[in-house]
Amino acid sequence: MFNNIAVAIITPTHTKKSFDIGIQMAKKFESELTVIECVYKIQPKFYFFETKSDKKILEKQKEKMKKELENWEEIALGKGIKIKTKFALTDSIAEWVIDYVKEHKINLLIMDYPKLSMVEATHYDDIINMIHHKAKCNILTAKEK
């Protein structure tokens, strides 16, 4: 039924719930699992060029994402699940996720919806709604209790 499942991590604070659901679904349907982490690219202090401090911040952001994805890769491989990981620093999270789903023919997209502050919740609601309306695949949004 679902031979290509993706778990999208789009919020700065997230739980492991969507990943756990992705593992269970991939195991049940003998599918390939892809974990994609997508965050906003921090804009440079000066509009036209990046400073050394901008580059350091960017490197720290990349390292944090890589470590998290490597950890999830180990967990999936330990359970016998084929997994791919991908991270993106982007100006538009929703557009990037929608394009990724389309290009890689994802059958099921699983997203986390953690508890956020009111400002964050409004912003990420817009992103999640845009993905729900424009992505051409089944979407499962996992909420905390």
| Per-domain boundaries in the chain | 4-143
CATH number 2.60.120.260 is the correct assignment for the domain at 4-143:
no
Q: How far, in Å, CA of 133 to CA of 139, rounded?
A: 10
**Cα atoms in the Cβ-side hemisphere of radius 13 Å centred on 15:** 14
pLDDT tens series, the chain, 145 aa: 899 999 998 877 777 889 999 999 999 999 999 999 988 876 666 666 667 777 787 788 888 888 888 998 999 999 999 999 998 888 899 999 999 999 999 999 999 876 776 777 777 888 888 999 999 999 998 877 6
